[in-house]
Structure 1
Amino acid sequence: MTRAEPLPLGAVTLTSGPFARAQQRALRTALELDPDRLLAPYRRESGVPTGPGYGGWETEGLDGHTLGHVLSALSAHAAGGSASARDRVELLLTGLRECQMTLGTGYIGGVPDGVALWHEIEGGWIEPQTFDLDGRWVPLYNLHKVLTGVIDATVYAESALGRTIATEFVAWWIRVFAPISDADVDLILRTESGGLAASLARWADHTGDEDAATLAARLAVRALWEPLAAGRDPLDGLHANAQIPLVVGHAVLARQGRGDEFAAAARTFWESVTQHRTTVIGGNSVREHFPPRDDWSSMFTAREGPETCNTVNMVELARELYRLDGKLEHLAFIERALSAHILSMQHPDHGGIVYFTSHRPGHHRVYSRSETGFWCCMGTGLEAPARFAASAFSTGPGQLDVNMLLGSRVQWGDAVVEIETERPIGDDALLHVTVPNPGAFVVRVRVPEGVDAERVEAHIAGAVHGPGPDGWLRIDREWHGRTTVRLVLPPVIRSTEAPDGSGWVSLVDGPRVLAERLAGPPVDPLATDARMGHIARGALLPLADAPVLTPEDLTAARRTDEGTVILPASATRREVVLEPFASLHDDRYVLAFPYARDGDAAGRRADLAAEDARADAVDARTIDVVTFGQQQPESDHALALADSESGYDEGSHWRRFGAGSTFVLQDWGAAAATMRIGWLGDTSPRRLVVRIDEDVAADVRVAPTRGQDAIEIDLSGYADGRARWSITVSGAEAGTPRLSEARLMSAPIV
């Protein structure tokens, strides 16, 4: 089996082009963060005197996660030669080491009351929810971030202090889990654990620590890998980014030869996600969850499209699978995801990061502010640019592979390889190879997707080389001094349909995913510091207003001298001007177009108008909504759980409550008139008691039924101009129905 080994990050420096510029912008953003505020949660939890930390998620239960991301990002920059990054890494490590030594156990963490958590677990108190363990928000996920950070400081920044901290922290993990039974480990792993297993396996890679590798395999979530290893697809409705890091761990364990079942699981997951659940930009998920693989309708109607974290972690999975299997599809995915989604998620001017990239026509995105929010995607968005080159070059005996053309300088033994290119904004590239002494070796350049393969050429010293049937341009020669290779990569315009076969299509020109920029209505491109500020709250435009494309339209697409692509006006729609999505910021856009495969644009538009009418009956009246059974909506609405269970059936997430659980709905305009609570049918009688503040607003006995139902609660008796509604739901002994959502509305649904 082919195993391609990537060049280390320290051997590659990005020098020019969009990726280099984005990398430097991310470095500036990371260095602008105050190290004392990043360290504050760790100092607080270890008893070291501290000042205030950051706000947002850093004070809402995920305290300390950002420092782990920043350590990983700066360690990668340090590997590339940044002295400022290296100095900041050592400063953060010094602060962490003080906390670690104060506690004296090897533990470090910013999890609120985190030290006590592990005493509770050791004492047998294990109460897991999907995103909550003993009342703490995803503590394993949180701790894995700083574990990964100190490992990256060891591996990339070659920090001796990082190695000391990581060694003691890994030993703490091993010691804590040693007495826990397998049954209790499975119970703990019901709560999102992030890339904990992958990080421990990577540590074993670097140090040979077999105890760490054994624990990594033990922390592989059986409920996920068993069905995947058997070739089954269990992903419908699952929280997408709770699964992807787990599968990265499977791939690392498989590469280490620790079980064929892990390799099978990783390959099944990869096939399911990339072939059936991935959009044109390489992203996946709606509202953070995998939609049904055969029904993508929500992808093109929701505000919350693919999450940045998901795509970054899928790139990590592709990198691991390429090392395992050596398939070009892994490299093609990396190039598409980096060029379209990851390059676009960072604002080129102020460095803000996008959480959700909506695929709804005419919607928009919002970017983080520098010192608020601190969502997961902010941290991941700082990391990803630092590792743009992590899989760009691979090497074997006498051979250098150029997997992705980036403006860069590569040190490969005595040879220096320099690439000049503006890809993905431009097309062609120059490759310069400099050797101090003559020598024979092979340089292979992967032929990118989206080019006219018959016209791809490499011009070198008067000779012309074409690609082979294996998808590589192979240059096998004796190299002298400085040699220039001119790569000609003619782009082609092509279309990509939604993977479920529904009527949506996107266009791609060479390496560039295209989108139409819309002039209005205006939007605020910066996220607010509210709990749900990462969601783009601008008005939803009617789906029927989007241009409907036909096969004839796609064949008429033409490229202009300005670098845009034009779809000329037709009898059924206006002219469409498309530009690279990666450089489209601050405005509304159309990334996915309604598609009439049969040529009936009028019929497709009528269907969209009917969908608009159905949505208007609910969405136009909705002020705020919480979807039960989904992590982020529940967290955003401060759901305090007591005696509940959750699941996914009939295409809907749900949660059943026993004892009283409380959540908050926001009404910034004080316009609420009614609250609608919906549920799925059940085979047993249930009870739903709803309290507003302490008053019983509804007490409903629900008979066994099929299908879905709802109640609406008149809020006129509470019309006191409030902006915040505290709601408690309970089900007495019978439990509530399987609640799907609660909506605060400006008017009842007639």
Structure 2
Amino acid sequence: MNTFPGLTRRGLLAGVSGASIALAAGPASATDPELDRATALPLHDVRLLPSRWADAVDRNRLYLLSLDPDRLLSPFLSQAGLLPKAPRYGGWESDTITGHTLGHYLSALSLLHAQTGDAEARIRVDTIVSELARVQTASGDSYVGGFTRRASDGTIENGKVIFREIASGDIRSTGFDLNGAWSPLYNVHKTLAGLLDAQALCGNQKALGIAVGMAGFLRGVFDRLDDAQVQRVLSCEYGGLNESLAEIAARTGDRSWLVFAARIYDRKVLDPLAEKQDDLANIHANTQIPKLIGLQRIAELSDDPARRIAPRFFWERVTRHHSFVIGGNADREYFFTADTPSQHITEQTCEHCNSYNMLKLTRQLFANRPDAALFDFYERAHLNHVLAAHNPRTGMFTYMTPLLSGAVREWSTPENDFWCCVGTGMESHAKHGDSIFWESGDTLLVNLFIPAEARWTRMKARLSLQTRYPDDGAVSLQLADLPAPRRFAVGFRLPGWAENRFTLAVNGVPAEPRRKNGFLVLRRVWNAGDRISLILPMSLRIERTPDDPHLITVLRGPAVLCADLGPAGDGKPYDGVDPALVAADPIADLHPAPDDPLSFITAAAGRPGMLRFTPFHGQAERRSAVYLRCFSETEWAAEQTRFLAEQRQRKELAARSVDILHLGEMQAEHDHAVSAEKSYPLVYRGRNGRDLRAGGFISFRLKIRPGPMLLRISGWSAGHDDGFTVRVEGHVLSVQPADNSGQSRTSDVDLPIPAALTNGKTQMTVRLEGSGTRTAGPFFTVRTLDAAAALPI
């Protein structure tokens, strides 16, 4: 934690809308000397020992050092009028969001240096900071930025121009577009965060100066806006900008930055959370999580306890009511309705950025109020999602980690993707030692069971944590070096899944710990060489989804298991039937595989045959089933026909789908080049979509194949809608009449696509045009389908 030397609680700050905040002088008086707040041991004091976690750091290092910093710096230099030293990378780095990766990369290099001591990482950090200083000097007004914007005539120009427009009151803001730029404040936040990490982890003081200068440029823009205008700006994704501004306040001791940070507050999202209202369904997940991280950081630096309410309530709702079994959340990037995971088991679940940020928020909450339950979630997401989103063979990353049975993980390429999740992946796999050990007063807390050595400066001790966890439940902590006998406490997190079953011993002698906040705490005089041994029961169990008791998952200790459905490398759609279990007690039917003690096979319960369960995080290049339906024999007899028919229908539709656009969703619309007028994103009946108003249009690109094709437009009809016109490649394909039936229903329109419009092409432009005087839609999805055979409706 950073502190404010010389500042006291008397330093009141003028806040927003009558609110006020003050910089806290420090932690409140300890009510429990063992567990009153906590601080993670510094990353540079922790070194990983051989394990899957250390392997991930090593593989990630190879990727980080394979990248050319000059290519990531290229847009920053060109926007400042300087000559780039190398061309930009592809993917997102060739789009208007260009520049966001450099901030992630700067953070990842800084973390890698702190975690491993890697000298090359430190050299690259210093080089990048020096180049950004050149950019800032050339800009002449402290601006540093790499992003561009698309002007109204379609030309690409320097993204800096949007700030002049915004300062003048010209604010055109939507969820992911601000005055023609793709999430520009999100982009700026990544740069600021990278600079702040360079200062904190590599000691580069020049980086802090650059960050302060850029923050000053932004403040000059926001100072010209009233509160209503600020809210319009903040309706576009802004990442954790408030966190960076609060951190600048912490680093500089300048109270004014905390005032600015408090202004970066999206009332539409944060006010309901502060009132403990869960309105999260159908809003973009990762846009919101950093807002809460920033709000929590402001709360840490202020005397206003009300600011802590929203972050903790948000964490509780997301982790307990809006998440999947692997700890990830969201379907197609959007939160689903609370407690309805069974309705969202798709190929687009669990964006990695979401878990990256949820783990950051978890660390913040734990530091403020240590509780083992927080790290039960952290462990679940860290092992089962973050590790699963990294390919140990190639070092590449997933955007989504799909939970649909048979789906494959789609991996990034080294130089032609640079999604947001590539950036957070770079960071996640540079810092696996950052949350293992914590200290609270004179108590050492062991939160994660990852093999590592550490220095505990407070006690001048060297620690060694040895374990094969989660492969087995034995954990051993040795006080490898202690200059003299010392009295202090050591606490081990007792995972909630262990259900109070454990064995604890000191130097082989059983020990009786004190329980505190979910930890097993031993306080005594310790000597060099003392060893504490914890054994946890790694038994199998099932978890049922809250909205469908027939849909289950299998876990062993902290690890989510999945049914192995074979290799993923054939490039073909999965054409198998989703596996199921038929057993009154599915755990009793599972027994260890003869060739692998970490895998389990069914004796009689597997359908359509024997199933092999293995840890999900290890299935990087295989198909799997995490969620399986489980029936009794009687239930299976009744369900089998319906279940199999439903599976066949869904597989047939998926196999014939060439492309699908989910309207109203940020990444899907961007990937399909959606442009629109008089059409607005919305949520209706729990689904994201777009309406289409009279005189408006929605235009987009869809992939096609040679041969007969269909265009399927899926939406909702209220029974009193206007019609609409469908154009393909500029030609009228269909004029859909108004619906005056008065019957509300889902509406699926299938339109044959004439071969003359698509011959020789791999993509086509589709345009939906509104007519009449009312509204058509909302439209949810548009697909191109292979029309070779009859399709399910």
**Contact in 1 for aligned 2:591/2:603 (Cα 8 Å):** no
1:140-151 mapped onto 2 (5 Å cutoff): 140-151=185-196
Q: 1:173 to 1:258 in 2, by over 3 A?
A: farther
The answer to which of 238-247 and 480-489 deviates more is 480-489
Deviation at 1:452, TM superposition (A): 6.2
Alpha-carbon distance in structure 1 between the residues aligned to 2:631 and 2:420: 38
Quick one: which of 356, 370, 387 aligns to 1:326? 370
1:187 alignment partner, SS class: helix
Q: Which amino acid aligns with 1:547?
A: A
Quick one: which of 760, 767, 777 aligns to 1:721? 760
Alpha-carbon distance in structure 1 between the residues aligned to 2:669 and 2:271: 28
What is the TM-score with the length of structure 2 in the denominator?
Answer: 0.88
Q: Which amino acid aligns with 1:619?
A: A
Alpha-carbon distance in structure 2 between the residues aligned to 1:588 and 1:131: 33
> Which residue does 1:19 correspond to in 2?
53
In structure 1, the gaps of 5 or more residues are: 525-537
> Which residue does 2:6 correspond to in 1?
none
Q: Which amino acid aligns with 1:708?
A: T
Q: Which amino acid aligns with 1:314?
A: M
The answer to which of 374-383 and 640-649 deviates more is 640-649
Alpha-carbon distance in structure 2 between the residues aligned to 1:74 and 1:675: 46
> Which residue does 1:217 correspond to in 2?
262
**Contact in 2 for aligned 1:566/1:575 (Cα 8 Å):** no
Q: 1:580 to 1:688 in 2, by over 3 A?
A: same
Alpha-carbon distance in structure 2 between the residues aligned to 1:686 and 1:155: 58
Alpha-carbon distance in structure 1 between the residues aligned to 2:427 and 2:655: 38
Q: Is 1:427 matched with 2:473?
A: yes
Alpha-carbon distance in structure 1 between the residues aligned to 2:624 and 2:753: 37
Q: Is 1:662 matched with 2:707?
A: no
Deviation at 1:249, TM superposition (A): 1.8
**Contact in 2 for aligned 1:551/1:599 (Cα 8 Å):** no
> Which residue does 2:521 correspond to in 1?
474
**Contact in 1 for aligned 2:508/2:533 (Cα 8 Å):** no
Quick one: which of 341, 353, 374 aligns to 2:397? 353
Q: 1:45 to 1:620 in 2, by over 3 A?
A: same
Quick one: which of 332, 349, 352 aligns to 1:287? 332
Quick one: which of 314, 321, 339 aligns to 2:383? 339
> Which residue does 2:710 correspond to in 1?
674
The answer to which of 612-621 and 68-77 deviates more is 612-621
Alpha-carbon distance in structure 2 between the residues aligned to 1:116 and 1:545: 52
Deviation at 1:376, TM superposition (A): 0.9
Q: Is 1:93 matched with 2:138?
A: no
Q: Is 1:47 matched with 2:81?
A: yes
> Which residue does 2:562 correspond to in 1?
515
**Contact in 1 for aligned 2:342/2:545 (Cα 8 Å):** no
> Which residue does 1:730 correspond to in 2?
769
Q: Is 1:208 matched with 2:253?
A: yes
Quick one: which of 205, 211, 215 aligns to 1:160? 205
Quick one: which of 580, 583, 595 aligns to 1:547? 580
**Contact in 2 for aligned 1:309/1:376 (Cα 8 Å):** yes
Show CA shifts across 1:255-307 (max 9, x none). 3336444322222212221111212211111111122224334432x221211
1:93-132 mapped onto 2 (5 Å cutoff): 93-112=129-148, 113-132=158-177
Quick one: which of 269, 281, 287 aligns to 1:236? 281
Q: 1:115 to 1:397 in 2, by over 3 A?
A: same
Deviation at 1:630, TM superposition (A): 0.7
Q: 1:607 to 1:328 in 2, by over 3 A?
A: farther
Q: 1:432 to 1:572 in 2, by over 3 A?
A: closer
Q: Is 1:743 matched with 2:783?
A: yes
Q: Which amino acid aligns with 1:584?
A: Q
> Which residue does 1:58 correspond to in 2?
93
**Contact in 1 for aligned 2:373/2:495 (Cα 8 Å):** no
2:128 alignment partner, SS class: helix
Q: 1:710 to 1:509 in 2, by over 3 A?
A: closer
1:563 alignment partner, SS class: strand
Alpha-carbon distance in structure 2 between the residues aligned to 1:540 and 1:204: 52
**Contact in 2 for aligned 1:237/1:648 (Cα 8 Å):** yes
**Contact in 2 for aligned 1:71/1:89 (Cα 8 Å):** yes
Deviation at 1:703, TM superposition (A): 3.3
Deviation at 1:222, TM superposition (A): 0.7
> Which residue does 1:498 correspond to in 2?
545
Q: Is 1:623 matched with 2:658?
A: yes
2:281 alignment partner, SS class: coil
Q: Which amino acid aligns with 2:206?
A: L
Show CA shifts across 1:212-252 (max 9, x none). 22222211211111111222111111111111112222222
Q: 1:502 to 1:644 in 2, by over 3 A?
A: farther
1:702 alignment partner, SS class: coil
Q: Which amino acid aligns with 1:563?
A: P
Alpha-carbon distance in structure 1 between the residues aligned to 2:220 and 2:303: 21
Q: Is 1:641 matched with 2:676?
A: yes
Quick one: which of 214, 225, 249 aligns to 1:169? 214
**Contact in 1 for aligned 2:722/2:775 (Cα 8 Å):** yes
**Contact in 1 for aligned 2:403/2:626 (Cα 8 Å):** yes
> Which residue does 1:76 correspond to in 2?
111
Alpha-carbon distance in structure 2 between the residues aligned to 1:676 and 1:461: 68
Alpha-carbon distance in structure 2 between the residues aligned to 1:3 and 1:491: 30
Alpha-carbon distance in structure 1 between the residues aligned to 2:767 and 2:255: 49
1:564 alignment partner, SS class: strand
1:358 alignment partner, SS class: coil
The answer to which of 373-382 and 559-568 deviates more is 559-568
1:373 alignment partner, SS class: coil
Q: Which amino acid aligns with 2:587?
A: L
Deviation at 1:549, TM superposition (A): 4.5
2:700 alignment partner, SS class: strand
Q: 1:515 to 1:140 in 2, by over 3 A?
A: same
Q: 1:290 to 1:597 in 2, by over 3 A?
A: farther
The answer to which of 323-332 and 495-504 deviates more is 495-504
Q: Which amino acid aligns with 2:662?
A: T
Deviation at 1:168, TM superposition (A): 0.9
**Contact in 2 for aligned 1:637/1:665 (Cα 8 Å):** yes
Q: 1:617 to 1:396 in 2, by over 3 A?
A: closer
Alpha-carbon distance in structure 2 between the residues aligned to 1:737 and 1:496: 39
In structure 2, the gaps of 5 or more residues are: 1-30, 149-157
The answer to which of 180-189 and 602-611 deviates more is 602-611
1:519 alignment partner, SS class: strand
Alpha-carbon distance in structure 1 between the residues aligned to 2:96 and 2:472: 44
Quick one: which of 612, 615, 625 aligns to 1:580? 615
**Contact in 1 for aligned 2:729/2:757 (Cα 8 Å):** no
Alpha-carbon distance in structure 1 between the residues aligned to 2:44 and 2:498: 30
The answer to which of 545-554 and 143-152 deviates more is 545-554
Q: Which amino acid aligns with 2:733?
A: A
**Contact in 2 for aligned 1:153/1:159 (Cα 8 Å):** yes
Alpha-carbon distance in structure 2 between the residues aligned to 1:498 and 1:418: 39
2:429 alignment partner, SS class: helix
> Which residue does 1:367 correspond to in 2?
411
2:580 alignment partner, SS class: coil
Q: 1:66 to 1:603 in 2, by over 3 A?
A: farther
Q: Which amino acid aligns with 1:336?
A: R
**Contact in 2 for aligned 1:688/1:699 (Cα 8 Å):** yes
Identity of aligned residues (%): 30
Alpha-carbon distance in structure 2 between the residues aligned to 1:216 and 1:642: 34
Deviation at 1:115, TM superposition (A): 1.0
Q: Is 1:694 matched with 2:730?
A: yes
> Which residue does 1:410 correspond to in 2?
454
Q: Is 1:30 matched with 2:64?
A: yes
Q: 1:264 to 1:571 in 2, by over 3 A?
A: closer
Q: Which amino acid aligns with 1:55?
A: G
